[in-house]
A and B are shown apart, each in its own frame.
Chain A
Amino acid sequence: MPKKIGSAIPEMIRSMIKKPDTEAYPFTKITLPETYRGKLDIDPAKCTGCSICAYVCPAAVITMVDLGKRKVGEKELPVKRPKFDLFACIFCGECVENCPFGALEFTKNFEMATSQRETLVMKKALEI
């Protein structure tokens, strides 16, 4: 092919005339696919404290907190609920997949940046 200087200029002019491809993100909202894995969320009503999520989590995000005992018939069973240190979450989806009760799910919220670590500790399931 012939060498020339400035073979990019036609495309440059084309790009200049049409709308920019960049989205001005914080000023415009972006669309996310259905399968998006965002911030983790738990439905406290469905959680039974089975600890499977804490076992499978590769990043040790989930720790089970003891909330005292509960009487079921004759026996006394410990009540446990998960606490999520979401700043360490790697969004692998292992807990969501393995939860036998479907209590965990991914939301589409990805704006998680914060200057305080504590705001990313999710204690939602503990308040029962």
Chain B
Amino acid sequence: MTPALELTDLRKSFGPAKIIQGVDLSVGKGERHAIIGPNGAGKSTLFNLISGRFMPSSGEVRLGGELISGKKPYQINRMGLSRSFQVSNIFTNMTVRENVRCGVLYSMGYGYSFWRNIGNLKEVSEKTAHILDEVGLLEKANLPAALLPYADQRTLEIAITIAGGADVILLDEPTAGMSHSETDRAVALIEKASKGKTLLIVEHDMGVVFNLADRISVLVYGEIIATGTPEEIRGDAKVREAYLGEEAEDAA
């Protein structure tokens, strides 16, 4: 079976700085895959390479077998890959509902449509409402996004990401900066939203990672030093040495 997402010898350098130095990674359909690694390991860069924000210096990214490296972000998105951002990247001047609706529109077949009244697009409204309900923002639907509390903005970030119904979802530190209870809610949401989908997640909170992920890859200095199930990673000496240290014990 073709993996949902496959990276082959992916490299990226900025001038002399080699940030990603030959990453090979294969994420199977329906798998929840987490990427962990110390700060500056290149996790966000890796996400930017996959989602098309950056052009890889060399190597390939395949989505469901199709080559996507070199394509524009919107093309990649249309092929079924959606991502969230580490720093909330929402439409601040629009309401929560409008934010989600923007995420829904393309997948419902309303490309650059200028002959339809957006208010009359029933499926779009329902899908939007459904997603708002799913993420628990239904009550705040008509608030301007800029007025949302931080945790809700993070939730909205995820809502926009999953709104298009993409099969492969990339989440960049979805729980960063959240309190414990907020994190728990976010994890529940991610579990629910990624059901039946492929999930690639970058996360610092080891509790989240080990709860959520089917498999984990460890990225250090632009290279994946280990990939495996949570147990395997926990037991991996190289990983402990390079990165986890005592932290892993605590998290486990």
Do A and B pair up? The answer is: no
- Residues on B lying within 8 angstroms of A by beta carbon are none
